């Protein structure tokens, strides 16, 4: 006699108390803390470091821009990884920020994306190796990139050829969230037209951006994702300096013709990006990295290993 769980759901006669599992999990997780790895990709001078510092409301990373005349221009793309733990209401977040200075800064930028793709894949690779070890750690340290912020220069025209090449390659291995950097140099009209163009180009090249559609999404999730997809790419402005506006202290930029309030939704979309990354999709970004990108990498690797093994066996015989 098989019981169909959907149609005959038993009614509990009294309170059991297993609903507390959520707080049991929470307690465990709070002790362990969370890990979030974010990478920034874009030409120097687009405000990458400033944006990260603005999102997490603290000076986490320094700009890697060239400021001294005797500093040589970078000839290759470097990967700089920086970890800092931030705490909010008892919740520990171990933040790993991966900067990519040198990207797009040379006269000849051919293949400048290769070190970046390699780094992302290396993290998957290292995780896989640790997983497959016979005596493995209980909790494998997760260095896989959960989110890649891609910075688009506010030209107001369209994506550059290099942007398209790199976006295609990045979206295959990591969750990519594109932003329009320094968007305070675009009027609202220019911003709308620019976004529209970018979306058209991304659609034309079949570039798959996060968030992805999932069967698990309920109506609410789907609606939220749709509104996010509408906004992307986020037109942002970053600032670590504070200004007083109407008696309130906000982060902003002061010009001779006005004050830009980073936290004002009419000025830019920083708030939307911040909420998206930290308040609504933080957990999903981490999970999708594991369930989609890592899985895809893993299965390719294991299949390749298997084929390799079979070939070697055949050679022996």
Partner 1 sequence: MSHPRRPGNRKNVKKGFQFTLMVVGASGLGRTTFINTLCDAEVVPKRECDEPEMAHIEEGIKIKPYTVELDEDGIKISLTVVDTPGFGDMIDNEYCFQEILGYLEQQYDDILSEESRIKRNRRFRDNRVHALLYFIAPTGHSLREIDIELMKRLSPRINIIPVVGKSDSLTPGELADFKKRVMEDITHHKIPIYNFPYDPEEDDDETVEENSELRSLLPFALIGCEEEVTVNGRKVRGRQYPWGVVEVDNPQHCDFVKLRYALLSSHFQDLKEITHDYLYENYRTEKLSRSTDSASDNDSGEEDEHSRLKEEQFKKEDGKLKEIEDRVQRELKEKQQELWTKEQQLMSLEANQIHVQ
Contact 79, 115 (CB under 8 A): yes
Interface pick for partner 1 out of 158, 229, 280, 290 (rule CB under 8 A): 158
Q: Which is nearer to partner 1, 253 or 298 (CB)?
A: 253
The token duo for 304 is 């390749």
Interface pick for partner 1 out of 204, 215, 312, 314 (rule CB under 8 A): 204
Q: Which is nearer to partner 1, 89 or 256 (CB)?
A: 256
Contact 145, 123 (CB under 8 A): yes
**Does 115 engage in binding with partner 1 (CB under 8 A)?**
no
How far apart CA 246 and CA 263 sit, in angstroms, is 13
Contacts (CB under 8 A) with partner 1, residues 52-91: 63, 65-71, 73
**Cα-Cα-Cα-Cα dihedral sign, residues 97, 98, 102, 105:** negative
Q: Which is nearer to partner 1, 33 or 258 (CB)?
A: 258
Q: Which is nearer to partner 1, 46 or 145 (CB)?
A: 46
Q: Which is nearer to partner 1, 46 or 277 (CB)?
A: 46
Neighbour tally for 262: CB within 10 Å: 24
**Cα-Cα-Cα-Cα dihedral sign, residues 285, 120, 163, 167:** negative
**Does 206 engage in binding with partner 1 (CB under 8 A)?**
no
x/- mask, partner 1, residues 33-52, rule CB under 8 A, reads -----------xxx------
Q: Which is nearer to partner 1, 5 or 107 (CB)?
A: 107
Rg (CA), the chain: 23
User: What are the residues whose beta carbons fall under 8 Å from the beta carbon of 73, sequence distance 6 or more?
Assistant: 66, 105, 106
Interface pick for partner 1 out of 52, 77, 209, 260 (rule CB under 8 A): 260
Contacts (CB under 8 A) with partner 1, residues 126-145: none
- Run of H or E including 312: helix 295-316
Neighbour tally for 17: CB within 10 Å: 7
Query: Which chain residues interact with partner 1 by CB under 8 A?
Result: 44-46, 63, 65-71, 73, 105-110, 153-162, 164-165, 182, 184-185, 187-188, 193, 197, 200-201, 203-205, 253-261, 264, 266-267
């Amino acid at each position: 006699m098989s019981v169909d769980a959907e149609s005959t759901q038993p009614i509990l006669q009294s309170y059991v108390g297993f609903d507390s599992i959520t707080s049991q999990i929470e307690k465990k997780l709070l002790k362990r803390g969370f890990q979030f790895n974010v990478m920034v990709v874009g030409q120097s001078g687009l405000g990458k470091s400033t944006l990260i510092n603005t999102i997490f409301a603290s000076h986490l990373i320094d700009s890697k821009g060239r400021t001294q005349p005797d500093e040589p221009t970078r000839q290759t793309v470097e990967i700089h990884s920086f970890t800092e733990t931030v705490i909010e209401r008892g919740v520990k977040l171990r933040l790993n920020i991966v900067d990519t200075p040198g990207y797009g800064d040379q006269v000849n930028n051919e293949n400048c994306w290769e070190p970046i793709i390699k780094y992302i894949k290396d993290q998957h690779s290292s995780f896989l190796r640790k997983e497959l070890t016979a005596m493995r750690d209980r909790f494998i340290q997760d260095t896989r990139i959960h989110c890649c912020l891609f910075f688009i220069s506010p030209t107001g025209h369209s994506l550059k050829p290099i942007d398209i090449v790199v976006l295609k390659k990045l979206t295959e291995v990591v969750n990519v969230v594109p932003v329009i950097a320094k968007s305070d140099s675009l009027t609202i009209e220019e911003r709308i037209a620019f976004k529209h163009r970018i979306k058209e180009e991304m659609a034309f090249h079949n570039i798959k951006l996060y968030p992805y559609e999932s069967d698990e999404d309920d109506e609410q999730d789907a609606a939220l994702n749709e509104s996010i997809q509408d906004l992307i790419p986020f037109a942002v402005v970053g600032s670590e300096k504070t200004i007083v506006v109407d008696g309130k202290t906000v982060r902003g930029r002061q010009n001779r013709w006005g004050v830009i309030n980073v936290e004002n939704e009419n000025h830019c979309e920083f708030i939307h990006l911040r909420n998206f990354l930290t308040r609504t999709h933080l957990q999903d970004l981490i999970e999708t990295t594991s369930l989609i990108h890592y899985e895809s990498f893993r299965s390719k690797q294991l299949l390749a290993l298997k084929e390799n093994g079979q070939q070697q066996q055949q050679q022996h015989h």
